[in-house]
Chains A and B, each alone.
Chain A
Amino acid sequence: MSGLAVCERNADGVWTLCPSADALSEEAGDAAALSAVVPAEATGRVVIDLRGAGALQTLGVVLLQRCVKTLEARGLEVRLKADADQGRILGALGGVVPEPLVADRSRGLDRVLRGLLSLHEAAIESAWLLRNTLKHSLIQTLRPRGRDDGRMLSQITQIGFDAIPLVALISSMLGLILALQSAPILRMWGQELRVADLVGLSMCKEIGPLLTAVLVAGRSGSALAAEIGTMKLNDELDAMTVMGVDPVGVLVAPRMRAMLLALPLVTLMGDVLGMMGGFFIGTTVLDIAPQQYINQTLEQVPINDVFGGLVKAALFGIVIVTVSAWQGFAASGGASGVGRSTTRSVVYSILWIIVVDAIYTAVDTSLAL
């Protein structure tokens, strides 16, 4: 402590605090310790003599300000003694900084309440967006223009082709896993052949569409949200709007059309590869004859169910594009805002995919019963 400063009382009874250069440096600077050097019995006036402290810098000024505040709070009257250079620095930096304006950002409970209110708004916004997107998609399909089709084709590449390796790998592995997991149970009942039904039905009706949609939401939904969000921050959406071009038509509709085409096709591929995984396990581990396995699959997996799965995939595609585009348009608050929107686009897409899945299944099964 004594390395930081010395504090002495001179003949007139005035306390003088002499900080060393260290006391105001980045390495050892400590305002609390500095003010503590002034002994508790000190009263009246304290002079801080800076002349031994060397050149002052911004940090030194801030530390001094704190120290002075603490001492004044103890009822002392503080004065400074400084050389000419230090005096100039104190004049330039030692002023009182005005309090910043309070930015009105809601926190805590307020934020939750506001969030609930904005749910209603979000529902309206995304419904409007969906309607607008479908309208533009319909127009672009009925009245084809080279540019729109070009955009759609490039999106089909990004949404469909580029997703093939990932979807193929994961679906075939899942087919393998499903067959392996169910084999011991089915064997107990002597129903090994039923592996074909189990893998086929679960892939086509549920796992294929769901898995593919989740993967595509992660790949392409997030990309859509990030692109629209960045364009919004960059005023590009405003630029389009003032040109009289609807951003939905340029950015969202081509993706919707591409998604409606690509997602069912990729899903179908996933279904088939999943069943091939099951086929591999069935014919090797379970010793089912290949022809028998194929016949069992063809018999037990009705084409309607496969088709139903593809309809579901198309619905999921609509969900992904709408949710992601809506999140992109709602982005605000700089790069971190775009990041948040991107994350949310994936989370909300998956959430709504499950909801749509549940509703579809409920309707589908109640019709069948």
Chain B
Amino acid sequence: MSTTNGTAPIAIRTTGLSCGYDGRVVLQDVNIAVPQGRITCVLGGSGCGKSTLLKTLLMLEPAMGGSIYIGADDMCCCDNARLQVLRRSVGVLFQGAALFNSLTLLENVAFPLLELTELDEAIATETARLKLALVGLAPYAHFLPAEVSGGMRKRCGIARALVRDPAILFLDEPGAGLDPTTSAGLDRMILGIRNRLGTTIVVVTHELPSIHAIADHCIMLAGGRVIAQGTLEQVGASGAPGVREFFERIPPDEPQPTEGLATLLLP
């Protein structure tokens, strides 16, 4: 098995993957490797296709070309039963948290346990309560998603993604909309999950402090392609256009008016 950083085996690999919607390509020629048991950050500007990549990796959107390997399975040509088994080892936080609106936070977290296992309801609820406490939401167990803030919904989504101790965890912008303290707490939690459980974690984010705190491996997207990947240092040193601007928060050049009313001004 191939490795990155000399040590970790590869959990997810894509070759020549392209993703998009209804014939419109959003990302093309994506060749990435996600190391097992590490935190991989997917970076890139808003609208560059990070969520799309995630959905394609999860087979929620059909790939427009190329292949995806999770472990040794080619996702694009494995049968439904196998896909189902693979999915059970995956936890996902969607960008909008995607909590079930008719269920309380506790019921949301317990949902996968209750639906997929033969567990006793009391035990499932107890487990769910534990995970809610892990993200600091224990007091809000009986609130409905509509009754808590966006950041709290996000944290509840993380608790739900974690409830079955997945081997691979996908988090789409977990820190967006959180205050700096909570966000830092979340980073510590993500690190803790990796350290204690050895979970492979893929985090979509553009929060620089979090990236510096948690990233073992980075994949940077821009202009519909992967422009750099590797450790944070490797990506920073890659010199690809856009990387330095991203990390040093340099805004794009303000366009100088070459047309328009301002050019008609008399001195």
Where the two chains meet, the residues of A that have a C-beta atom closer than 8 Å to any C-beta of B are 47, 61, 64-65, 68, 78-82, 87, 90-91, 94-96, 104, 146-147, 230-231, 234-236, 238-239, 241-245, 250
Contact, CB under 8 Å: A94 / B96: no
Contact, CB under 8 Å: A244 / B99: no
- Contact residue range for chain B? 20 to 34
Q: How far is the CB of B159 from chain A (nearest CB, A)?
A: 13
Q: In the bound complex, how far is the Cα of B55 from the Cα of A91, in angstroms?
A: 42
Query: Given A236-B98, A238-B55, A239-B98 in contact, is the A64-B266 Cβ separation under 8 Å?
Result: no
Contact, CB under 8 Å: A79 / B265: yes
- Write out, one digit per residue, whether chain B residues 84-102 have a CB within 8 A of any chain A CB (1) or not (0): 1001101010111011110
Contact, CB under 8 Å: B98 / A244: no
Residue from A65, A146, A239 within 8 A of B92 (CB atoms): A239
A82 neighbours in B (Cβ, 8 Å): 265
Q: In the bound complex, how far is the Cα of B24 from the Cα of A180, in angstroms?
A: 62
Contact, CB under 8 Å: B60 / A242: yes
B255 neighbours in A (Cβ, 8 Å): 95
A95 neighbours in B (Cβ, 8 Å): 255, 257, 259-260, 262
CB nearest to A95 among chain B residues? B260
A68 neighbours in B (Cβ, 8 Å): 261, 264
Contact, CB under 8 Å: B84 / A244: yes
Q: Can you list 14 contacts pairing A with B, beta carbon distance less than 8 Å?
A: A79-B265, A80-B266, A82-B265, A87-B262, A96-B259, A104-B22, A104-B24, A235-B96, A238-B60, A239-B98, A242-B90, A245-B111, A245-B112, A245-B116
B115 contacts the other chain (Cβ, under 8 Å)?
Answer: yes
Main secondary structure of the interface of A (DSSP, over half): helix
Number of inter-chain CB pairs below 8 Å: 88
B24 neighbours in A (Cβ, 8 Å): 104
Where the two chains meet, the residues of B that have a C-beta atom closer than 8 Å to any C-beta of A are 22, 24, 55, 58, 60, 84, 87-88, 90, 92, 94-96, 98-101, 111-112, 114-116, 121, 255, 257, 259-262, 264-266
Contact, CB under 8 Å: A90 / B261: yes
Query: Given A96-B260, A242-B58 in contact, is the A87-B84 Cβ separation under 8 Å?
Result: no
A235 neighbours in B (Cβ, 8 Å): 94-96, 98
Q: How far is the CB of A230 from chain B (nearest CB, A)?
A: 8
Contact, CB under 8 Å: A61 / B98: no
B115 neighbours in A (Cβ, 8 Å): 147, 243, 245, 250
Contact, CB under 8 Å: B99 / A80: no
Q: In the bound complex, how far is the Cα of B87 from the Cα of A241, in angstroms?
A: 8
B96 neighbours in A (Cβ, 8 Å): 234-235
Q: How far is the CB of B7 from chain A (nearest CB, A)?
A: 29
Contact, CB under 8 Å: B87 / A244: yes
CB nearest to A227 among chain B residues? B102
The 8 A-B pairs with the shortest beta carbon distances in the complex, nearest first, are A94-B261, A235-B98, A239-B98, A95-B260, A235-B94, A91-B262, A96-B259, A244-B87
A234 neighbours in B (Cβ, 8 Å): 96, 98, 101
CB nearest to A64 among chain B residues? B261
CB nearest to A235 among chain B residues? B98
B266 neighbours in A (Cβ, 8 Å): 47, 79-81
Q: In the bound complex, how far is the Cα of B255 from the Cα of A129, in angstroms?
A: 52
Q: In the bound complex, how far is the Cα of B24 from the Cα of A235, in angstroms?
A: 20
